[in-house]
Structure 1
Amino acid sequence: MAGEDKRTLAQKMGITRTVIRDPSESDIQLREDRIGRYFRKYLNKFVFDEFSPEFMEKSKAGDLMKGVPIPLRKKDLKAFAGGEGLPMLVIAENMAWVMGCDPHFKHTKDYVAILSKLYNYKLYEGMLKEGRDAAERGAMDDACIHFRAALCMKPDYLHAMYSYARACRAMYLDSGNEEYVGRFKAEALDYFELTTETHPRFAQAYYYLGYAYLNMGLYIKADLTWKEFLRFSRNGKDKKEIRKRLEQLAEPVQIEQGYNDVMSGRYEEGLARLEPFLKSRFESWWPLHYYLGVAYEMTGRRGQAVASFKRVLTMNASHIETMEELAAIYRQEGDRENRRKYEQKIELIRKNTQEDQKALKKEILEEDKKLREREPENQKPEFIEEIKSEDPEEKTVGKHRIKRLDKKK
């Protein structure tokens, strides 16, 4: 019919995916793994086998099993030794652990294909439940690994995306290690963003994402994000809380808009927005004085610029950008003494920063060494030579003999 509106209901409501990322950024099997280094130690608890031809022939996923190693925990070997076999669901759980520890593992795609054929969506829903149960008892590594495994099965699985982001958030809030906090904070932020992009009607992701932006000083983003939360949430208590937060954000949002004016070259507009806050509770915010200084300098008010930049340094004595602005001003004025003073300070701060970075790197390497000593890595993983018996109903697989991959069969 001519003129018929063919938009979906969501589109008619104005709910669309405004951002669709490339799989290299959204698929956990392909994207950078910021936090995998903290889980790979658990892979040392596994040995590997291969499905026998007989078992593959009887399995409905047999065509996918050829050449694929079976992960087995060392505790599983007793069941094999006794001949009673091992439930296939136990092997599925082991596959989930391996995928969750390292989504880039060379056989992750094989595991996903096998498990999808055997169990379909019920398995990744089970992984989600395992993860949530682990989180409730405080086993956050366990929880995170299961959420990552579910995302290997289905990268856009709403509840796994959200639960994974929440788990990463809880883990960095409970740590005092700077490197650890930085990695988990970045992962949490990215997955809250991915969740809102992929499932734009899911309110709670906006709730936590708004707080993440707020803690980063991104007030405009927090404001916009929380307005989306209010649009979709039905939680009266949370909505009341966020309305109060938005009221508190009104002035910081104006200040950030002033910063953006200055950075975009709209200096007079920036001054008009920012100068009123010099007589407000935000007078002690050093970025306010820094951006005012830039705007003053770019509009020819050099005396006010110098005063603003020096005010910054009374609040943030090591702010290099401010020192660079002052050094540039004194260079133009031919004031060699003051120019050299700030250039020397910049050089000293950069040197100290480099030394701090070296010390942090050394600390990280020492922590990694201690971790390896506590969880010694096998240079060659153990390998189960063969399976002696199979259950035609795919419920169990049986006996084994262990050998090393570095030994000839």
Structure 2
Amino acid sequence: MKFRIDKYLLKKTDELAFITVKKYGEFHLDGYEMPKDGLNVPIKNEVLVKGIKEKTAEHGVNSMSIADAMIYMIGIDSQFVYNEEYKKFLFALENKIDFNIRAYAGYMSRKYFELGETTDSLIYIKALVTLYPEDIEGLYNYAIVCQEVATTYQKDEDPKAMNDFLLEAGEKLEKIINMDESFALAYYHLGYHYYNQSQYIKSKVIWEEAMKLGLDEDIIAEIQENLGKMDYKVQYEEGYSLVFQGKFEEGLEKLLPLEEEYNDWWNLLFILGIAYKNMGEIDKARLYFEKILILRPKQVDTLVELALCEASSFNMERAVEILEQAAKLKEDPEILCNLGMAYLNVGNIDDAIYYIERAYELNPEDEITISCMRELGNYRIN
């Protein structure tokens, strides 16, 4: 099983020490054959320190303390070089004594979760699902702990880490419902993941499925409230999806009814403008883009679209003026190419050369930029 959050846990290896156990040393476990070169086994630093303080260091290192640290290491790094040997050791130990690895890892995860130590909780539950990837309940608990860890990164204002843990949780929830289509709580939590990613149609579908599977009345009421609140967002997503599929009239049927109530929602106005522009109704498109710029004067994509409307109406001087504003806000190859071609159309070859060549410097592999460079070649003075 793959995990996207290993890198955030690797620092926890600082809490482990490693000792080399030789093949023919005193340490022996029935059912497990030590590699001929021995094995580096982990021990938690706290175990060693406690053994030293109590002058029982020789008893601090035993099968159970090694097993605990192995589970911990597997949970930290799913790609650790000795993991396969650790698994052999753990399963041999499980067969020898009354030791249930799955139950132990689950217990330790719950224990640390209740103590508020969510990273350690995550490590143990991650070890469980690494050792038992078919354990759906363990996978669900893993996703929930990932969500909890994400909130700590949110408080620490680390959006990259927060997003990685949320994506990890979402991926594992999707895995759960692929394994068990009746796992209602996985659908419930997954609905929030889609919602937070602005995938409102998927969120609606998954929440409606959750309600069919049977949940507590309070949770059903919560879902119904969410569905009511996001109905307009679902309609918007359906509309812009149709627009980007080239079904402009169908998209407008979805989007126009939203305009009266959400007339200051610039994203909605933008998609309406795009639809009309692609239908050739330039005057209508222009009105939407101009309205957005009243609300958000520095919205670069809107400036570019308005400039293209002006260019299609042969108002090239106005198109140049607007594209200059956009280029000052964002030095993007596409914007610079549009500006260069606009200058070319008004006969300003020097500025056209400057902006198109600058676009090529920024991204020499872009097909549009390469095409503009070819076009520019027809105007160069040999």
Instruction: Give the structure-1-normalised TM-score.
Output: 0.71
Aligned in 2, Cα 1:85/1:274: closer, same or farther, shift over 3 Å? closer
Match of 1:114 in 2: 89
Q: Distance in 2 between the 1:248 and 1:161 partners?
A: 30
1:75 and 2:46 aligned: yes
Match of 1:35 in 2: 5
Match of 1:389 in 2: none
Match of 1:225 in 2: 206
Partner residue of 1:330 out of 310, 313, 319? 310
Match of 1:63 in 2: 33
1:101 and 2:76 aligned: yes
Contact 1:71 1:94 (8 Å CA) reproduced: yes
Partner residue of 1:306 out of 286, 289, 307? 286
Contact 1:135 1:143 (8 Å CA) reproduced: yes
Q: Distance in 2 between the 1:316 and 1:137 partners?
A: 47
1:84 and 2:55 aligned: no
Q: Distance in 2 between the 1:142 and 1:135 partners?
A: 8
Q: Distance in 1 between the 2:294 and 2:88 partners?
A: 60
Match of 1:127 in 2: 105
Aligned in 2, Cα 1:192/1:325: closer, same or farther, shift over 3 Å? same
Match of 1:357 in 2: none
Q: Secondary structure at the match of 2:254?
A: helix
Aligned residues: 321
Q: Distance in 2 between the 1:126 and 1:315 partners?
A: 58
Q: Structure 2 matches for 1:329-408, cutoff 5 A?
A: 329-351=309-331
Match of 1:188 in 2: 169
Deviates more, 1:265-274 or 1:106-115: 106-115
Contact 2:43 2:61 (8 Å CA) reproduced: no
Letter aligned with residue 238 of structure 1: I
Contact 2:201 2:234 (8 Å CA) reproduced: yes
Q: Distance in 1 between the 2:23 and 2:216 partners?
A: 55
- Kindly state the Cα deviation for residue 203 of structure 1 after the two structures are TM-superposed: 0.9
Q: Distance in 2 between the 1:155 and 1:314 partners?
A: 54
Contact 1:55 1:62 (8 Å CA) reproduced: no
- Kindly state the Cα deviation for residue 83 of structure 1 after the two structures are TM-superposed: 2.8
Aligned in 2, Cα 1:40/1:160: closer, same or farther, shift over 3 Å? same
Q: Distance in 2 between the 1:109 and 1:315 partners?
A: 59
Letter aligned with residue 105 of structure 2: M
Q: Distance in 2 between the 1:99 and 1:276 partners?
A: 54
Letter aligned with residue 33 of structure 2: D
Aligned in 2, Cα 1:283/1:112: closer, same or farther, shift over 3 Å? farther
Name the structure where helix makes up a greater proportion of residues.
Answer: 2
Q: Per-residue displacement from partner, 1:172-217 (whole Å, max 9, x unpaired)?
A: 2232222222222222222222222223211111111111222222
- Kindly state the Cα deviation for residue 320 of structure 1 after the two structures are TM-superposed: 3.6
Match of 2:220 in 1: 239
Q: Per-residue displacement from partner, 1:350-397 (whole Å, max 9, x unpaired)?
A: 359xxxxxxxxxxxxxxxxxxxxxxxxxxxxxxxxxxxxxxxxxxxxx
Unaligned runs of 5+ in 1: 1-26, 353-409
Partner residue of 2:19 out of 25, 43, 49? 49
For the aligned residue pairs, the C-alpha RMSD in angstroms reads 2.6
Larger radius of gyration: 2
1:213 and 2:184 aligned: no
Contact 1:50 1:69 (8 Å CA) reproduced: yes
Higher relative contact order (CA 8 A, sep 6+): 1
Match of 2:275 in 1: 295
Letter aligned with residue 277 of structure 2: E
Letter aligned with residue 158 of structure 1: I
1:152 and 2:130 aligned: yes
| Paired-residue identity, % | 26
Q: Distance in 2 between the 1:320 and 1:223 partners?
A: 31
Letter aligned with residue 227 of structure 1: E
Match of 2:372 in 1: none
Q: Secondary structure at the match of 1:71?
A: strand
Unaligned runs of 5+ in 2: 333-382
Q: Distance in 2 between the 1:268 and 1:143 partners?
A: 52
Letter aligned with residue 74 of structure 2: M
Q: Distance in 2 between the 1:317 and 1:140 partners?
A: 44
Q: Distance in 1 between the 2:296 and 2:174 partners?
A: 31
- Kindly state the Cα deviation for residue 110 of structure 1 after the two structures are TM-superposed: 2.2
Q: Secondary structure at the match of 2:246?
A: coil
Match of 1:395 in 2: none
Q: Per-residue displacement from partner, 1:224-279 (whole Å, max 9, x unpaired)?
A: 01011112123122112212322333332222111111111111111111111111
Aligned in 2, Cα 1:147/1:84: closer, same or farther, shift over 3 Å? closer
In the TM superposition, structure 1's runs of 4+ consecutive aligned residues that sit over 6 Å from their partners are none
Q: Secondary structure at the match of 1:84?
A: helix
Aligned in 2, Cα 1:54/1:290: closer, same or farther, shift over 3 Å? same
- Kindly state the Cα deviation for residue 90 of structure 1 after the two structures are TM-superposed: 1.5
Aligned in 2, Cα 1:181/1:301: closer, same or farther, shift over 3 Å? same
Q: Distance in 2 between the 1:312 and 1:148 partners?
A: 47
Match of 1:161 in 2: 139
Letter aligned with residue 140 of structure 1: T
